[in-house]
Structure 1
Amino acid sequence: MIEWRDRGLILAVRPHGETAVILETLTRGHGRHLGIVHGGRSRRRAPMLQPGNEVEVVWRARLDTHLGTFTVEPLRTRAGDLLGDPLRLAALSSVCALSAFALPEREPVPAFQARTEALADALADGAGWLRDYVFWEMALLEESGIGLDLSGCAAGGAADDLAYISPRTGRAVSRAGAGAWADRLLPLPEMMLGGPATLQGTLAALTATGHFLEAQLAPTLGERPIPPARARLIAALQRAL
């Protein structure tokens, strides 16, 4: 019997049989990991098994290749705390869905896991999360091998005049460097360069990161569509303007 104990963030919950669920977690030491929770659909357990909640899990299986089972203890219930704030709840749902979509299974990503947990805390606390969410999506792209390089102009222009992103390479381009190609480039929002965190700036930044999620990340994952939770976040941001 193989057994380990870890803690992390619930990403998704799916029914399994009549009373169990398959729990998907982003753990600190074992990465994105799945397991069966027997009785997970009960009235007592279901409320704590919600995406965004922090839990401690014990995973057991006869072989490492088996799905295995989880024993779960709640540590922090974030999802219920956000029911009165549809925008922050949509952001938390998007974080969980994109993590489940993009991260490899059973591959530890300790730095990214810590960043994801910190964002979940910011969402629960309600402070500074707009900027954190934008840079979290940028970190997710980097974790997936599609990092954006906004440190200088890809065309040799001035670093203090950056205004665009190449949709192919993800590198920044200055106004002067873009020249006649400007209409073929993505706008580079000031927020992605450290500018003010606003709703409008967040939407502009997520338009840019969304291009790379759809055009570059999704094709590497079998052309699966981007999780609908992200589109719901965009819609919530638009309503909040």
Structure 2
Amino acid sequence: MASLTTSAIVCAVRAHGEHGAILRALTPEVGLVAGYVRGGRSTRLRPILVPGNLVALELRARTEEQLASATAELLASRAPLLAEPLPAAAIDWVTSLTAATLPESQPYPALYTGLSAVLEAIEVAQAARLWAAALARYELLLLAELGFGLGLDECVVTGSPDDLDFVSPKSGGAVGAGAASGYEERLFRLPPFLRGQDAGPSMADVLDGLTITGHFIDRDLLDGRNRDLLVVRERLTGRLKRAVA
């Protein structure tokens, strides 16, 4: 990638040097990219380089190994949402997760579309449970795209597609009600919306879905190593629980 001009979702920004910043952003064509933004900490650029914002991004590098220089122009700002605790926590988590888990310069067009949908849902949804459901689906998609997809189409024990009420925390496979009998306390409850069967899940269902995806993200993607990032997610789920308490 000697040069690239595209739209991109800002995922992470880190100060570099006295005035610059290293930007990591998700693009539709080549996935996660990184670039050095000269003056990225300036008064003009700080409002643009905000996680969740959509920008027109230009990257230029002399070699594939060199960190590209980057310029960014604002296309859509989500900065006003950061003044609200729940949306702010959600944007912080979903962008940080994307930046921390995706390899650079590998295309994931479905994840770009999914992340865009989550951010748009946070912006327009009238109830937190609606965008939180979109977030859970994005986490499920992220697991699948990175090779850790869950088997939610049939019972991992019997092979039946019926009455799939639980998920095994070990295998990530769905478990039917009959096969789960006597073991329910050891399993996660599987809400129908994670299987695309409920367009309007309750917050209780959404929290069950986030419990499932959070378990496998921690185990398979973060491997329990990134505690700072997990604290961000715990903050989000804690606020969602308090919102319905």
TM-score, normalised to structure 1, is 0.91
The 3-state SS of whatever aligns with 1:152 is strand
Query: In structure 1, what is the equivalent of residue 117 of structure 2?
Result: 118
Query: In structure 2, what is the equivalent of residue 107 of structure 1?
Result: 106
2:177 to 175, 178, 181: 175
Question: Residues of 2 paired with 1:64 and 1:232: CA distance?
Answer: 38
Query: In structure 2, what is the equivalent of residue 188 of structure 1?
Result: 190
Deviations along 1:57-113, whole A, 9 cap, x unmatched? 1111111111121011110001x2213432122112111011011111111111211
Q: Residues 226, 211 of structure 1: CA spacing in aligned structure 2 closer, same or farther, 3 A cutoff?
A: farther
Alignment check: 8 A CA contact 1:155 1:178 kept? no
Query: In structure 1, what is the equivalent of residue 135 of structure 2?
Result: 133
Query: In structure 1, what is the equivalent of residue 63 of structure 2?
Result: 63
Shift of 1:180: 3.8
Q: Which moved more, 1:135-144 or 1:118-127?
A: 118-127
The 3-state SS of whatever aligns with 1:40 is coil
Q: Which runs of 5+ in 1 are unaligned?
A: none
Alignment check: 8 A CA contact 2:11 2:26 kept? yes
User: Is 1:197–2:196 an aligned residue pair?
Assistant: no
Alignment check: 8 A CA contact 2:125 2:131 kept? yes
Shift of 1:46: 0.5
Q: Which runs of 5+ in 2 are unaligned?
A: none
Query: In structure 1, what is the equivalent of residue 219 of structure 2?
Result: 215
The one-letter code sitting in structure 1 at the alignment partner of 2:11 is L
Q: Which moved more, 1:97-106 or 1:152-161?
A: 152-161
Query: In structure 1, what is the equivalent of residue 76 of structure 2?
Result: 76
Q: Which moved more, 1:160-169 or 1:179-188?
A: 179-188
Computed over aligned residues only, the root mean square deviation of the Cα atoms, in angstroms, reads: 1.9
Shift of 1:184: 2.7
Question: Residues of 1 paired with 2:182 and 2:133: CA distance?
Answer: 31
* 1:18-97 alignment, distance < 5 Å: 18-78=18-78, 80-97=79-96
Question: Residues of 2 paired with 1:63 and 1:84: CA distance?
Answer: 40
The one-letter code sitting in structure 1 at the alignment partner of 2:92 is S
The one-letter code sitting in structure 2 at the alignment partner of 1:240 is A
Shift of 1:116: 1.0
The one-letter code sitting in structure 1 at the alignment partner of 2:216 is F
Alignment check: 8 A CA contact 2:48 2:72 kept? no
Query: In structure 1, what is the equivalent of residue 16 of structure 2?
Result: 16
Query: In structure 1, what is the equivalent of residue 239 of structure 2?
Result: 236
Question: Residues of 2 paired with 1:197 and 1:118: CA distance?
Answer: 17
TM-score, normalised to structure 2, is 0.90
Question: Residues of 2 paired with 1:240 and 1:155: CA distance?
Answer: 37
Alignment check: 8 A CA contact 2:188 2:208 kept? no
Question: Residues of 2 paired with 1:62 and 1:159: CA distance?
Answer: 53
Alignment check: 8 A CA contact 1:157 1:176 kept? no
The 3-state SS of whatever aligns with 2:155 is coil
Q: Residues 173, 97 of structure 1: CA spacing in aligned structure 2 closer, same or farther, 3 A cutoff?
A: same
Question: Residues of 1 paired with 2:99 and 2:12: CA distance?
Answer: 7
Q: Which moved more, 1:95-104 or 1:125-134?
A: 125-134
Runs (4+) of structure 1 moved beyond 6 Å?
none
Shift of 1:157: 6.5
Alignment check: 8 A CA contact 1:7 1:55 kept? yes
Q: Which moved more, 1:132-141 or 1:149-158?
A: 149-158
Deviations along 1:187-224, whole A, 9 cap, x unmatched? 223332433422222211111111111122223xx933
